[in-house]
Amino acid sequence: MEPVSEDQLKQMLKTQLEYYFSRENLIHDTYLKSQMDTEMFVPIATVAKFPQVQKLTSDLDLIISVLRDSVNVQVDDKGEKVRPNHSRCVVILREVPETTPVEDVKNLFKGENCPKFVSCEFAHNSNWYVTFESDEDAQQAYQYLREEVQNFLGKPIMVSWKYFWSWGKQFNEI
């Protein structure tokens, strides 16, 4: 296996760590949920021991740095614990292949009646996540896609709006 650059390592680590705290993983990951406190924080040392993280690095400072740079998780002030970031809301585009250029997906949200997004990325299984600053922005973008855009890649747009109940472990989808 070829050595990877520091930037490549950070990106690989970011992808793995964000996956652990993704909505899809948390729905099924009973172990990670069992490690959460009442505010959904998990000790970073626990996450650092996960086999897929260990394959990438044992450098706790690097793990903390990557987590702090992610908009999808929140690190506590001491840099000891991490949790999913509940201050964001996500619009999910379904049945959009990974091979779709990211610019094509981003361009869906360029309309005058659509709020600006924070991030846009392919998640998995033909799903794209587009993250917004607030519930209101995500809801407005959802309505914009359903009412104004309506079609993408030659077929009706498949879109849902996901959010977390505040600090709860319940997931909801509209």
**CATH assignment of the domain containing 112:** 3.30.70.330
Instruction: Let me know whether 74 and 130 are in one domain.
Output: no
Show which of 57, 84, 111 is a domain's final residue.
Answer: 84
CB atoms within 10 A of CB 140: 17
* Same-domain pairing of 61 and 96: no
Angle between helices 60-69 and 6-20 (to 10 degrees): 70
60, pLDDT greater than 50: yes
Q: State which of 84, 118, 148 marks the end of a domain.
A: 84
Q: 3-class DSSP state for residue 135? A: helix
Do 55 and 121 belong to one domain? no
Residue 162, pLDDT score: 63
What does the pLDDT read at residue 23? Answer: 77
* Residue 173 pLDDT grade (very low, low, confident, very high; cuts 50, 70, 90): very low
Distance CA 17, CA 67 (A): 7
- Same-domain check for residues 152 and 104: yes
Question: pLDDT digit string (tens) for 137-152?
Answer: 999 999 999 999 999 9
pLDDT band at 161 (very low <50, low <70, confident <90, very high): confident
Residue 62: which residues within 8 A CB-CB, separation 6 or more? 9, 10, 13
- CA 18 – CA 154 distance, rounded (Å): 31
Q: What is the pLDDT of residue 124?
A: 81
The residues, ordered by sequence, that sit 6+ positions from 51 with a Cβ below 8 Å of its Cβ are none
* Whether residue 80 is found in the same domain as residue 95: no
Residues 131 and 160 in one domain: yes
Look up the domain containing 18 and give its range: 6-84
The rounded mean pLDDT for the chain is 88
For residue range 91-107, what is the model confidence (pLDDT) as tens digits? 989 999 999 999 999 99
114 exposure class (CB count in 10 Å sphere: 0-12, 13-18, 19+):
buried
Asked if pLDDT for residue 121 goes beyond 60, the answer is yes
Residue 10 has pLDDT above 80, yes or no: yes
CB 93 within 8 A of CB 160: no
Main-chain dihedrals φ then ψ at residue 70, nearest 5 degrees:
-85, 135
Q: Are residues 74 and 118 in the same domain?
A: no
Which CATH number goes with the domain that contains 38?
1.10.10.10
**93 and 153 belong to one structural domain:** yes
76 band by pLDDT with thresholds 50, 70 and 90: very high
- Count of domains observed in the chain: 2
Band of residue 167 on the pLDDT scale cut at 50, 70, 90: very low
